[in-house]
Amino acid sequence: MPRYRALIAYDGTDFLGWQVQPGRRTVQGELEKAVNRMAKDPDPALKVHGSGRTDAGVHALGQVAHFDLPFAIPEEGVRKGLSTMLPYDIEIKQIQRVDDDFHAQYSAHTKTYRYRLTNREFRDPFRRNYTGYWPRRLDVAAMQMAIGDYLGEHDWQSFAAAGYQAKTTVRTVTRANLEQVSEDELIFEFTGTGFLYNQIRIMVGVLLEIGMGSRSVHDIPRLLAAKDRQQARLTAPASGLYLKSVDY
Amino acid sequence: MPRYRALIAYDGTDFLGWQVQPGRRTVQGELEKAVNRMAKDPDPALKVHGSGRTDAGVHALGQVAHFDLPFAIPEEGVRKGLSTMLPYDIEIKQIQRVDDDFHAQYSAHTKTYRYRLTNREFRDPFRRNYTGYWPRRLDVAAMQMAIGDYLGEHDWQSFAAAGYQAKTTVRTVTRANLEQVSEDELIFEFTGTGFLYNQIRIMVGVLLEIGMGSRSVHDIPRLLAAKDRQQARLTAPASGLYLKSVDY
């Protein structure tokens, strides 16, 4: 069966995350409905495989997924057909025909996440669903000094959500950057060979504690060495997190 | 009773407009609840008066309203108190104590509206609630040439929503501007001494027809002279409209 790779953006606000769940509105669920309608409801039902899950409220600028169709359709036809059938909070940015051995999850090399944070006294109505919100004053220079300690290969056990199960918690972060993009907004970006469940939001939470002075600017190496989830206290809100891109 | 003037922003997406309606979620309704809680539910209930209504889905960057409190509270206390009680899609940007003769509606001199339009093949998930969406190719230069014909004092009967009743339909537009702010976004701005119900959205609709070539670039003076609502066909979507500021 011909295989297609899709580059997808979505506003996660009104989704219960990426993964199909019976009776819940999810991104994968909406995509599978559209792909099956395009293929005229074949039996068995066609599946859409993403590069990985995103949580409820988490957004994507460049999620990647693949699916097979029972017959070949030109790329532009697939893109327009799906775009017409999908709800307005999902966008198909690109469709490419790919080889049978391409797999959105297993072929992925690195992923880049962005985290947008609003730092002001009260929420901005227009950013409430698109940024995390933090009312306390932050020492951005201290956070920028600390963020480099995330770089490299580490065991991220201290940064995994409680109850998280994985064969290994060793991952490599190749880029970690924090920029103040306006008077009241910060943007964090992290690139790596994969991230544990909630890892980015916990990494941001630790930086917020450093920015408030409730954690030392040199604490990250100690925290990594501790391999203990109890040590990292804050998980930054889902609304600020974006899967920016997946590289193959 | 001490009078306060509030500068307010709101995301109109989840409101059935500004005006109080029993059993519906409206901006005025949420504000009146908060003001009455702040005044410890006095009898009779306190009212909040806006500079004018906005429709369901229409946003505000700088709506102005006034209300009276049964006792004086410092401006900062009113701002913080209301901000803490209001839902996240309403923001109190400023509170000022004003004289008894200030009235948000009757003292208003001019109003400025902004209209954001996304012009691309399919909707952008992140702008679906914050811009109007238009998939057809537009001749922006022609629209920019035509927009100047809105300037000045005119009878706007052709631009009033069907069934609209007003003492007079004569209004003056003092500024009309259209800018292409990115490859796929246009921003219109209009300042005037008041606008009829739906007037801005119909003005934008006429410019869209001019941009598509389905209406002549010189058609606006004829349309104004016709004084006939049937002549203007399109009303641009509410999601792109913002009350930007009110001048006193």
Identify the residue whose tokens are 């609840």: B33
Chain B positions with Cβ closer than 8 Å to A: 9-11, 59, 83, 88-92, 121-126, 128, 130
Instruction: State whether A125 and B11 contact (CB < 8 Å).
Output: yes
**Would you put residue A173 in left (φ > 0), alpha (ψ -120 to 50) or beta?**
beta
Alpha carbon dihedral B244, A116, B124, A123, in 10-degree steps, equals -40
B111: which strand partners?
Answer: B192, B246
Question: What is the maximal distance between C-alpha atoms in chain B?
Answer: 59
**Picking from A71-75, A230-234, B238-242, which range would have the lowest pLDDT averaged per residue?**
A230-234
Active-site option among A11, A14, A55, A100: A55
Q: Which of B14, B41, B55, B124 is catalytic?
A: B55
Q: How far is B171 from chain A (nearest CA, A)?
A: 31
Write down the pLDDT at residue A229: 81
Tens digit of each residue's pLDDT (9 = 90 or more) over A48-66: 999 999 999 999 999 999 9
Q: One-letter amino acid identity for B216? A: S
The residue among B30, B61, B79, B88 with the most chain A CBs within 10 A of its CB, best to mutate, is B88
Contact A125 B90 (CB under 8 A): yes
In this prediction, residue B69 has a pLDDT band, given cuts at 50, 70 and 90, of very high
Domains of chain A, by residue range, sit at 3-98, 110-247
- Closest Cα in chain A to B128: A88
What are the structure tokens assigned to A181, written together? 């993009």
Question: HEC string of B197-231?
Answer: CCHHHHHHHHHHHHHHCCCCCCCHHHHHHHCCHHH
Which candidate in B122, B242, B244 is best for mutational testing of the A interface (most A CBs within 10 A)? B122
Query: Does the N-terminal peptide bond of residue A87 adopt cis geometry, omega within 30 degrees of 0?
Result: no
Q: DSSP labels for A142-180?
A: HHHHHHGGG-EEEE-GGGSPTT---S--EEEEEEEEEEE
Give percent of chain A with pLDDT exceeding 90.
Answer: 90
The CA distance from B138 to B208, in Å, is 7
The CATH number of the structural domain formed by B110-247 is: 3.30.70.660
- pLDDT band for position B40 (cuts 50, 70, 90): confident
CA atoms within 13 A on the CB side of B193: 11
- CATH value of A3-98 in 2.102.10.10, 3.30.70.580, 1.20.1250.20, 3.40.50.2300: 3.30.70.580
Instruction: List the structure tokens of B148.
Output: 């100047």
Alpha-carbon distance B175 to B196, whole Å? 16
Binding residues of A for substrate are 113
| Helices marked H in chain B | 27-38, 75-85, 140-147, 199-212, 220-226
- pLDDT of A180 above 70: yes
Q: At what angle do helices A199-212 and A219-226 cross, to 10 degrees?
A: 140
> So what's the ipTM on this one?
0.93
| Catalytic (active site) residue A124 | no
Q: Do B130 and A126 touch (CB under 8 A)?
A: yes
Is residue A220 within a helix (H) or strand (E), and if so which, with residue range? helix A219-226
Q: Region A97-117: what's the mean pLDDT?
A: 97
DSSP assignment letter at B23: T
CB contact under 8 A, A10 and B125: yes
* B164 has pLDDT over 70: no
Give the residue numbers in A contacting B (CB under 8 Å), as ranges: 9-11, 59, 83, 88-92, 121-126, 128, 130
- pLDDT of the residue at A34: 96
Q: How far is CA B163 from CA B20, B158, B159, B170, B232, in A?
A: 21, 12, 12, 16, 14
* A59-68 vs A3-10, strand pairing mode: antiparallel
A125/B88 CB distance under 8 A: yes
Amino acid symbol at A143: M
Q: What is the pLDDT of residues A224-242, one digit of tens each?
A: 999 988 888 899 999 999 9
B113 is in an annotated binding site: yes
Query: CATH topology of A3-98 equal to that of A110-247?
Result: yes
Residue in B161, B242, B172 with CA at minimum distance from that of residue B205: B161
Q: Quote the pLDDT of residue B165.
A: 72
CB atoms within 10 A of CB A155: 14
Averaged confidence pLDDT in chain A: 95
Q: CB pairs below 8 Å between A and B: how many?
A: 44
**What is the phi/psi pair of residue B13, to 5°?**
-50, -50
Task: Tell me the binding residues of A.
Answer: 113
- Cis bond leading into B44, ω under 30°? yes
Chain B residues closer than 8 Å to A11 by CB: 125-126, 128
Q: A96: exposed, middle or buried (C-beta count within 10 Å: 0-12, 13-18, 19+)?
A: middle
Start-to-end CA span in chain B (Å): 22
